[in-house]
Amino acid sequence: MLTYSQIGPAMGAPLLIAHGLYGSGRNWGVIAKRLADTRRVITVDMRNHGHSFWSDDHGYADMATDLAQVIDHLGGPMDVVGHSMGGKAAMVLALTRPDTLRRLVIGDIAPVPYQHSQMQFIEAMRAVDLDMVTRRSDANDQLADQGIDPALCSFLTQSLDVPEKKWRLNLDALADNMDAIIGFPEVEGQHGGPTLFLSGGQSDYVARRYRATIQSLFSNARFAKISKAGHWLHADDPRAFEGTVRAYLDADGV
């Protein structure tokens, strides 16, 4: 089972948060803490990330099953927020195990294949000389020397175990499964539950041309944007992200 942590009172519908590629539940600590004032919030480490198990398989059917196991173990249904890769996993969960869900928020991703690979970040992490790293800033500097944006350097090195001199990411498995990660599987059925596609106003991940595909799979889809945010909308404008998610999850009815 995935490694997870939970905070907040055991009241109302619990909320599960699924992070994106190269992330971890830890990245969502601030958002989780804020939303945990009125509900229990569970943050997971997806497979091949953080403290969760490593596997050669990293497809969305597998990741959806992982999320379902956590929900079944803790007791559902739950509200689910998924960002990027975690959003795609959450969509497959909704299409295959709708009984596990109440409301669904998808952060800046659509159920479509994308063309941009994320391999450059794997290559950059592989190129870090971990023997020369005694603090996280050493790895940040090495990544920056390879042309990685400073904000992304800090994000990536949150998955670095400095004392053990290793990444808490299964870089080989993620590389081997990159086509599946940037793709989206063929899934039968349609999800009719409340679903919010929340995107960054400065991101092109949820282009208008994708709306027909989204609505063919999620008949009750709604759309909203955080104008000042990019793809990392929860980090770019956390207050707006939190407020939008809170308002949607707390809306009357399901």
- The residues carrying an active-site annotation are 84, 172, 231
Angle CA 31–245–81, to nearest 5: 75
Element spanning 7, H or E: strand 4-7
Nearest to 235 by CA among 146, 154, 136: 154
Nearest to 1 by CA among 60, 36, 51, 41: 51
Question: What is the C-alpha to C-alpha distance for residues 122 and 228, in angstroms, rounded to an integer?
Answer: 28
Question: What is the C-alpha to C-alpha distance for residues 4 and 189, in angstroms, rounded to an integer?
Answer: 29
Count of Cβ atoms closer than 10 Å to residue 223 Cβ: 15
Q: How far is CA 230 from CA 47, 94, 158, in A?
A: 25, 25, 20
Element spanning 79, H or E: strand 78-83
User: Is 60 in a helix, a strand, or coil?
Assistant: helix
